[in-house]
C-alpha cells in the first residue's frame, strides 16, 4: 500500500495517501522529510544522544502559515504531534515516535526594534543567534540561558535561567508578547492586552498551548565588556566557600549572578600542577554592570579561600555566553535532573560533597544556581512559572561518552537526586528535568497552585490535548 503510516493521538495507525501528501506539500513554503529521505537521520538527530526517536513525518516549516497547515492536518486526522524549536530539550520532547514533527529549524530569524528595546525572535532561533542580532550592533541583550546552541523557544516557555536572571528575571519574564498557532489552527497574538490568559500561560507554562512562531522580548542595555570571574577551589575548601557564598548572596547586588559547580579542574596552565583533573568547586560569577563595580562585588568571592586556579576574564557579552559551549557537544550521553532548595543548608552541602566525589564520570557537574534578585521579586501567580522562593537551584548534569556506562551514571544521578530532595524540596525545574520520571507528577509539583488555572486555559485553547508531547498540562473540565 502506498503513502505513509503515522501514529495517532490514541496510538492508532493513520495512513496518509500519496496524493494527500503531495497536495499538502504543494501548499507549503517549507518541505517534508519522510523516513525514506536521505536527510531523515540528520533531521531526527537530537542534542541528547541517549534519546532516539523515529517520527513518521517531519515538516520543515518556513512560515506561520506552514505551521497552521500542520496543526490543521494533525487535528483533522488525529495525528500525534511534536514541536521542535532548538532540539535541545534534555528529555527529547522535540520529537515523537511515529507522529508528525513541526520542525522550526528553518524559522530562526531575529529582528531588532532598537527604538522600543524589543526583539522579535522566530520559534526556531538559538540563543547564539539572538545575541548575535542584538548585541554587536546595538549593545542590547534579552535574558536567556548560558549555552549558545540551546533553542530560545523551549528555554523561554518553561522559564529560562541565565546570567541576567538576578538583574532582569527569567527569559519568560521578558516576553512582551507571542504569535502563537493554537490547536484550532488560528494564529493568535498573546500579550498584556490580547488573550492575556494565554500570555500568562506561555510565560513558564511550556509548549502545551500551541506553537509559538514568534516571540517579542524585551531588550536591556548591556556593557561592551563584561566580567566573568571563575575562581576554582579544591574540593576540601568547598564547604567553606559555599557557606561564604550563601551568606554573601543575602545582600548581593542584582547585577551579580553566581553559578557554582562541583566539576573537574581542567588540565591547563591556569591550574596549579597536581590539581589538574581533580575534583574541584568552580564559582562562575558574572556581573552585569560597570567593570569598577564588578571588581568590588566579585573580589570577596574570589578571595574567600585560596584557589587552585582562576579563569577570570573580561570580554564582550557574546564571548561570555560561549563559556560552556564546548562542554555540551551534540550527541553525547546526558542524563540531567534538577531540584529547587529554599536554602543551601549545611546538610545539603555535606550531601553535595559526597555526591561530588562519587561522580561516575569526570565530565559530570553538580551545578548550584543562586536565585533571588529580580527573579525572586516576581510573585508566584504573576506568571505561570510559579513560586520564586527557593534561593538555589541544584542541577545534576551527568555527561559521559561510553554507552556501557549508562547504568552507572543514571543510577548515580537518581540516587543523588533522591537524597538531595529529602533535604531540599521535590519541585523540579522542568527545563532540566530530563527523562525517566513520572511526568504528570513533575508537572503537578512544579506548577503547584498555578496548575488549576493552567488546566483551564488549556481547556479553552486545546480541549483535546493536541499539544501533548511536552511536560503536559492536561485540559480540565
Ligand X SMILES: Cc1cc2nc3c(=O)[nH]c(=O)nc-3n(C[C@H](O)[C@H](O)[C@H](O)COP(=O)(O)OP(=O)(O)OC[C@H]3O[C@@H](n4cnc5c(N)ncnc54)[C@H](O)[C@@H]3O)c2cc1C
Binding site for ligand X (CB under 6 A): 47, 82-90, 93-94, 104, 123, 145-147, 150-151, 153-155, 157, 159-162, 207, 211-212, 328, 431-432, 470
CA separation, residue 346 to residues 124, 156, 248, 369, 420 (Å): 42, 32, 15, 17, 12
Considering the complex, state which of residue 234 and residue 469 has its C-beta at the smaller distance from ligand X.
Answer: 469
Burial (Cβ within 10 Å: 0-12, 13-18, ≥19) of residue 96: buried
Considering the complex, state which of residue 84 and residue 167 has its C-beta at the smaller distance from ligand X.
Answer: 84
Cα separation, 466 vs 349, in Å, equals 43
Q: Are 190 and 178 in contact (CB under 8 A)?
A: yes
Q: Are 321 and 128 in contact (CB under 8 A)?
A: yes
CA separation, residue 208 to residues 110, 135, 164, 460 (Å): 24, 31, 26, 12
Considering the complex, state which of residue 206 and residue 309 has its C-beta at the smaller distance from ligand X.
Answer: 206
The least distance separating ligand X from the CB of residue 328, rounded to whole angstroms, comes to: 4
Considering the complex, state which of residue 173 and residue 351 has its C-beta at the smaller distance from ligand X.
Answer: 173
The least distance separating ligand X from the CB of residue 316, rounded to whole angstroms, comes to: 19
Considering the complex, state which of residue 155 and residue 304 has its C-beta at the smaller distance from ligand X.
Answer: 155
A 10 A CB-CB count for 305 gives 17
Nearest of 159, 134, 133, 132 to residue 144 by alpha carbon: 159
Number of residues written out for the chain: 477
The least distance separating ligand X from the CB of residue 3, rounded to whole angstroms, comes to: 26
Helix, coil or strand: residue 278 = coil
Cα separation, 88 vs 432, in Å, equals 11
The least distance separating ligand X from the CB of residue 306, rounded to whole angstroms, comes to: 29
The least distance separating ligand X from the CB of residue 50, rounded to whole angstroms, comes to: 12
For residue 389 the three cell numbers come to 522562593
For residue 243 the three cell numbers come to 557557606
Considering the complex, state which of residue 168 and residue 432 has its C-beta at the smaller distance from ligand X.
Answer: 432
Q: Are 160 and 130 in contact (CB under 8 A)?
A: no
Considering the complex, state which of residue 220 and residue 332 has its C-beta at the smaller distance from ligand X.
Answer: 332
The C-alpha cell 506553537 sits at 211
Considering the complex, state which of residue 47 and residue 287 has its C-beta at the smaller distance from ligand X.
Answer: 47
The least distance separating ligand X from the CB of residue 46, rounded to whole angstroms, comes to: 7
Considering the complex, state which of residue 208 and residue 275 has its C-beta at the smaller distance from ligand X.
Answer: 208
A 10 A CB-CB count for 467 gives 26
Q: Are 262 and 237 in contact (CB under 8 A)?
A: no
The least distance separating ligand X from the CB of residue 92, rounded to whole angstroms, comes to: 7
What is the widest separation between alpha-carbon atoms in the chain? Answer: 72
For residue 282 the three cell numbers come to 568552580
Q: Are 6 and 79 in contact (CB under 8 A)?
A: yes
Considering the complex, state which of residue 9 and residue 146 has its C-beta at the smaller distance from ligand X.
Answer: 146
Cα separation, 452 vs 440, in Å, equals 14
Considering the complex, state which of residue 88 and residue 458 has its C-beta at the smaller distance from ligand X.
Answer: 88
Helix, coil or strand: residue 142 = coil
The least distance separating ligand X from the CB of residue 174, rounded to whole angstroms, comes to: 13
Contacts with 119 (C-beta within 8 Å, 6 or more apart), sequence order:
110, 111, 112, 113, 130, 133, 134, 140, 142, 216, 217, 219
Amino acid at each position: 500500500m502506498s503513502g505513509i503510516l503515522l501514529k495517532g493521538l490514541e496510538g492508532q495507525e493513520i495512513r496518509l495517501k500519496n496524493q494527500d501528501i503531495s497536495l499538502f506539500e504543494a501548499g507549503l513554503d517549507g518541505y517534508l522529510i519522510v523516513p525514506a529521505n536521505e536527510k531523515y537521520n540528520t533531521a531526527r538527530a537530537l542534542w541528547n544522544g541517549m534519546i532516539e526517536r523515529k517520527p513518521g513525518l517531519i515538516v520543515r516549516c518556513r512560515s506561520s502559515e506552514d505551521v497552521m497547515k500542520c496543526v490543521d492536518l494533525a487535528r483533522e486526522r488525529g495525528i500525534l504531534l511534536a514541536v521542535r524549536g532548538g532540539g535541545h530539550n534534555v528529555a527529547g520532547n522535540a520529537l515523537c515516535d511515529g507522529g508528525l514533527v513541526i520542525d522550526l529549524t528553518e524559522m530562526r530569524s531575529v529582528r531588532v526594534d532598537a527604538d522600543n528595546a524589543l526583539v522579535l525572535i522566530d520559534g526556531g532561533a538559538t540563543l547564539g543567534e539572538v545575541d548575535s542580532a542584538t548585541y554587536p550592533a546595538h549593545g542590547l541583550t534579552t535574558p536567556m540561558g548560558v549555552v549558545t546552541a540551546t533553542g530560545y523557544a523551549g528555554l523561554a516557555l518553561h522559564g529560562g535561567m541565565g546570567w541576567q536572571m538576578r538583574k532582569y528575571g527569567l527569559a519568560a519574564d521578558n516576553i512582551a508578547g507571542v504569535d502563537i498557532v493554537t490547536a484550532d489552527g488560528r494564529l493568535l497574538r498573546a500579550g498584556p492586552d490580547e488573550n492575556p490568559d494565554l500570555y500568562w500561560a506561555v510565560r513558564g507554562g511550556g509548549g502545551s498551548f500551541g506553537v509559538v512562531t514568534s516571540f517579542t522580548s524585551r531588550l536591556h542595555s548591556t556593557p561592551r565588556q563584561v566580567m566573568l570571574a571563575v575562581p576554582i577551589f579544591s574540593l576540601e575548601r568547598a564547604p567553606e566557600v559555599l557557606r561564604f557564598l550563601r551568606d554573601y548572596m543575602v545582600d548581593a547586588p542584582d547585577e551579580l549572578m553566581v553559578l557554582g559547580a562541583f566539576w573537574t579542574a581542567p588540565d591547563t596552565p591556569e591550574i596549579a600542577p597536581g590539581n589538574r583533573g581533580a575534583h574541584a568547586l568552580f564559582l562562575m560569577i558574572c556581573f552585569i554592570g560597570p567593570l569598577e563595580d564588578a571588581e568590588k562585588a566579585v573580589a570577596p568571592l574570589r578571595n574567600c579561600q585560596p584557589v587552585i586556579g582562576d579563569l577570570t576574564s573580561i570580554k564582550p557579552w557574546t564571548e561570555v555566553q560561549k563559556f560552556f559551549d564546548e562542554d555540551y557537544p551534540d550527541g553525547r550521553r546526558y542524563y540531567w535532573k534538577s531540584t529547587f532548595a529554599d536554602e543551601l543548608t549545611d546538610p545539603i552541602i555535606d550531601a553535595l560533597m559526597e555526591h561530588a566525589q562519587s561522580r561516575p564520570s569526570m565530565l559530570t557537574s553538580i551545578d548550584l544556581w543562586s536565585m533571588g534578585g529580580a527573579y525572586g521579586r516576581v510573585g508566584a501567580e504573576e506568571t505561570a512559572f510559579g513560586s520564586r522562593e527557593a534561593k538555589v537551584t541544584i542541577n545534576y548534569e551527568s555527561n559521559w561518552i561510553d554507552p556501557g556506562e549508562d547504568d552507572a551514571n543514571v543510577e548515580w544521578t537518581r540516587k543523588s537526586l533522591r537524597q538531595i530532595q529529602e533535604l531540599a524540596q521535590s519541585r523540579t525545574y522542568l527545563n532540566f528535568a530530563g527523562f525517566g520520571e513520572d511526568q504528570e507528577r513533575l508537572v503537578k509539583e512544579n506548577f503547584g497552585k498555578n496548575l488549576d488555572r493552567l488546566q483551564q486555559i488549556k481547556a479553552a485553547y486545546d480541549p483535546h490535548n493536541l499539544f501533548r508531547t511536552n511536560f503536559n498540562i492536561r485540559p480540565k473540565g
